[in-house]
Amino acid sequence: MEKVLFILGPTAVGKTDISVALAKKFNGEIISCDSVQIFKGLNIGSAKITKEEMQGVKHHLIDIKDPSETFTAYEYATAIKEKIKEISLKEKLPIVVGGTSLYVKSIILNYNFGGVGINENLRKQLEEILKTDGVSKLYEMLLKLDCELAEKVDKNNPLRLMRAIEIASEKGEKTKAESDIDSLVFALVKERSKLYEKINLRVDLMLKNGLVKEVENLKKQGLTKENQAMKAIGYKEVLDYLDGNISYEKMVDEIKQHSRNYAKRQLTFLRGMDNVNYVDADNKEKAFNEICEKVEEWLKWKKQN
């Protein structure tokens, strides 16, 4: 059973610096657990780690998809399990870093998300239905296929609905099995007002660093809000601004508000998990030392057993 260290937490809490320091100390390699950083070209808005910030630590599952493509939790579950084995065989420590709840479920809780891959033909048909009849039609279709699954899916989220229809169409089921990894999970947290302040400052920095230009370039490639990548926070709001639907000021306010809402959902998800070690990330050095102490004990146990 492979040992896997998890550094989770809401957006902007400070996972990057601490995870890189841990990887350097414990001979680890980092696996991204971020549903936006998998896409090439979505750098500024996803706060994607730079080569300089990596400090020589190998990172996985970043820039593995073109922004015009799709990527499911099922695909992530398959990919991360391969990476964990690959890193463990090198006698290095896999360190999973991020905050995408579906991805976390796919590995810690061992959900298989139906065991069904993307059906390209069906997906194209569903995308056309979405364009012509709207999200309510997708929900109606799912209700007819599997009313129980429909009750569990956000009926206003077209991507989740399309994925659920694929699973229901092929009679796949979201199941949960006993996890086949030995995980040590940390969740970095901050006092709510401090976290929100950090989020607001990060959005300002993204805009200063060229987020609007980044989205303009993606738009020139033919990407629209119909693409999975462009539904991400920061990208969909800038697209609305570029399309003349909202003002610049409204765009900024929406990015900040949506980012804060997302952080709140991430924290709610983490608090619903078992066996999570919460660490106050306000003092980075203290947080790092606290995590190191527990990791050392955990790895020492591995050698003794």
Instruction: Tell me the per-residue pLDDT of 122-158, one tens digit each, with 9 for 90 and over.
Output: 888 888 899 899 989 998 998 888 777 777 778 888 8
Domains 2-112+179-304 and 114-169 share a fold: no
Task: Indicate whether 20 pLDDT > 80.
Answer: yes
Calpha distance 114→121 (Å, rounded): 18
pLDDT (0 to 100) of residue 111 = 61
Domain borders along the chain are 2-112+179-304, 114-169
pLDDT (0 to 100) of residue 305 = 46
Q: Say whether pTM exceeds 0.85.
A: no
Task: Indicate whether 39 pLDDT > 90.
Answer: yes
Please tell us whether the domain made up of 114-169 is placed in CATH 3.10.20.30: no
**Topology classification of domain 2-112+179-304:** Rossmann fold (3.40.50)
Calpha distance 165→143 (Å, rounded): 9
